[in-house]
Amino acid sequence: MNPENLTLNPSFSYLKVLIVFFFLLGLIILLAYFIKRLNILKVIRPASDGQLKVIQVVALGEKRQLIVVRWKEQELLLGVCPQNISLLQRREADFEKILNKAGAGKNEE
């Protein structure tokens, strides 16, 4: 064996590194595509039971919002800015009960 043949050509080693890099990049992109396509993350992460819903979002300016969220039987008015989230108001969200009470009041009159 000739020692001169064992030394690597610098341009050949760079080419090898680039081929491996692009192969791995392609593999990552392909893996991300299949994860998105097959919804694997939904299987891993449990689905919401439907108790939390965003009702309305109002933009107040750059990165500031008012958000109405329905959670269980309550509506929450949240003030959202980059530094924090504040609970501004809370009220009952069971409109059927409210409507029934209003309807019962009209029938009594």
pLDDT at 72: 80
Q: What is the pTM of this model?
A: 0.45
45 φ, ψ (degrees, to nearest 5) = -95, 125
Which residue(s) pair with 58 in the sheet?
66
Structure tokens at 52: 């939390």
Cβ proximity of 58 and 66 under 8 Å: yes
Cβ proximity of 76 and 87 under 8 Å: yes
| pLDDT, greater one: 17 or 48 | 17
Question: Where residue 93 falls among pLDDT bands split at 50, 70, 90?
Answer: low
